[in-house]
Amino acid sequence: MDEVVFRSPRKKGRVAVFLSGRGSNFAAIREAVERGEIDAGIALVFSNKADAPGLLKAREWGLETLFLDPKAFASREDYDRALIGELDRRGIDLVCLAGYMRVLTPGLCDALKYRIVNIHPALLPAFPGLHVQQKAIDWGVRFSGCTVHFVAAEVDMGPIILQACVPVLQDDTEEALAARILVEEHRIYPRSVGLYFAGRLEVRGRRVFILEPGA
Ligand code: GRF
């Protein structure tokens, strides 16, 4: 068996959520935190869009928010370097990408190895990228779903933490399939973050093992 390259920490964590849009996954994570299902607090909600609805929601809920304007930086590397500074300053343990529509630079991915997770609305490695619900319908697959994974430098790659499956129906529309998948996203994303701070994720090679509680 491959050697262990990472074991998630068992601690009360500080989470940063990155989003660019409505933030329903953010809301699902927050609810799980409130219910005590995740041993962490949301220490920051960050966006590259000043008017992201998720950011406004975070403010209403009294969470710390941050917007960095991409136009104010000379390069993507500069932007992500500033971001790393903001995360360090706040002692962030884990970044949850939740509809963050900006590709992370390799510098950011490397600085936070095994400390960034993402949710993708397809069963990776099938259908990386955008508009993946429509792609699943067009391809004619019978099942699609969602994937929570650690983030590696390539888009939508990295060790898979949890996946959930939904049927693709004959008369599906992109919206209908997306809604069916979203229900599962809201279930497996908080669950993955909960497992992370329960110290129950172990990465060997590119496989993530879920350890028994207390293991
Ligand atoms: C979700 O479909 C997620 O899988 C993808 O972006 C969408 C974000 O939705 N990465 P929301 O902002 O969490 O509602």
Q: In what order do the strands lie in the sheet with 13-19?
A: 4-7, 201-204, 207-210, 160-167, 143-150, 116-120, 94-97, 13-19, 40-47, 65-67
Distance 205 CA to ligand 1 centre (A): 27
- Does the pLDDT of residue 214 top 90, yes or no? no
> Cα 46 from chain centroid?
13
- C-alpha span between 17 and 55 (Å, rounded): 10
pTM flag (> 0.95):
yes
- C-alpha span between 6 and 202 (Å, rounded): 6
pLDDT mean across residues, the chain: 97
Which tens digit of pLDDT belongs to each residue from 133-184? 999 999 999 999 999 999 988 887 899 999 999 999 999 999 999 999 999 9
149 catalytic? Reply is no
- Which protein residues touch ligand 1 with a CB less than 6 Å away? 19, 21-25, 54, 98-99, 119-121, 146, 185
Q: What is the CA radius of gyration of the chain?
A: 17
